[in-house]
Amino acid sequence: MTLELDPQIAEALGPLMAGLADVAPPPVGDVDGRRVVMNTMLATVDRLQPTADDVRITDHELTTADGARLLLRWYRTSDTDTSDTDDVAPGPAVLYLHGGGMILGSVSINDGAVSRLVSRSGVPFLAVDYRLAPEHPFPTPVEDVYAGLQWLHEHATELAVDPARIAVMGDSAGGGLAAAVSILARDRGGPAIARQLLIFPMLDDRTTIPDPHIVPYAAWTYEDNITGWQAFLGARAGGTEVPALAAPARLEDATGLPPAYLEVGQLDIFRDEDLAYALLLSRGGVPVELHLTPGAPHEYDAIAYQSDAARRAMADRIRVIRSL
């Protein structure tokens, strides 16, 4: 018996895979080629899903310590008016970090996905348009995310946010950055993070040896992974001098980290590193909710959003966000 795709996910993937059948994958190290193909694919897949018409978007700008200007995008439901915070009880918020293997993606490409989360949960999100590798390797993306967390805490009153109820959330590379900023905030003594939601997070630069059971279904391939980590870490990728702030799977002591919600598909190349991280957190006394989805590859929830597996995952994410 071998691993195979969930039938509903396989049905949704069929047309996409057929369209890519004649497209040669970019070679290892080709960041620009991946940006062209994958940014287009991410935007196309997102347009398949319904839009959330009840979500309002406001853009802010953050100037980093090194003088860069970052986009911070604030999403909230249209029935939430924070123009007069004296009349609004402070509530939870989520700092959101998009995926893309550290090398691609953007806040704007994820407008639909974030808006749907906000619409269904009623909880506002702040998305950070962190800088990408290889132009901006580690530690820049992690520091950008940390600056976004600081900004949200500093502006909590005007946004009607309870600073004790701020979570961090990300998928893929964004999940890795959510884990990393949780470690960084702990080590620097704040700002506080109430929970970390890690959606098939990219955590370990040593995930380079193909698993033959996963290779046929890998939406984010081992070649993609090597490219992303080398862009992010340079010659250090896979070596002995990689810090946990770059690759959270390298963490030795999880004590004091925020409670975690973690999910990954059984056909995702991140499966083993994510399961190991859940165990590492648990051994550090961190409460963990872990979901392993059978027959699911990377990013299955966006491609097969109508599948039972995706619906269950979305319901769980919304439940955890609302619990803040």
Pairing of strands 288-293, 260-265: parallel
| Marked catalytic residue, from 111, 144, 268, 274 | 268
Could you count the other beta carbons within 10 Å of the beta carbon of residue 118? 25
Q: What is the token pair recorded at 165?
A: 């109820």
State the burial class of residue 192 (Cβ atoms within 10 Å of its Cβ: 0-12, 13-18, 19+).
Answer: middle
Is 84 among the residues known to form the active site? no
Q: Examine the residue annotation and report whether 298 is marked as an active-site residue of this protein.
A: yes
How many helices, marked H, and strands, marked E, lie in the chain? 9, 8
**Rounded-to-integer distance, Cα 214 and Cα 51, Å:** 32
Distance, CA of 139 to CA of 145 (rounded, Å)? 10
The number of C-alpha atoms within 13 Å of 179 and in the hemisphere containing its C-beta is: 34
CA distance 85 to 170: 28
Question: Residue 106 CB: number of other CB atoms within 10 A?
Answer: 17
Largest CA distance in the chain: 61
**Alpha-helical regions (H) of 126-221:** 140-154, 173-188
Q: Residue 35 burial by CB count (10 A; 0-12/13-18/19+): exposed, middle or buried? A: middle
Active-site option among 153, 274, 298, 301: 298
Q: What's the chain's length in residues?
A: 324
Q: Tell me how many degrees the CA angle 221-226-230 measures, rounded to the nearest 5.
A: 150
Tell me how far apart the alpha carbons of residues 321 and 166 are, in angstroms, rounded to a whole number.
10
Q: Are strands 161-171 and 91-97 parallel, antiparallel or unpaired?
A: parallel
Tokens in use for 198?
């890690």
- Is 268 assigned a catalytic role? yes
> Which of the following is catalytic: 115, 119, 121, 172?
172
Active-site residue list: 172, 268, 298
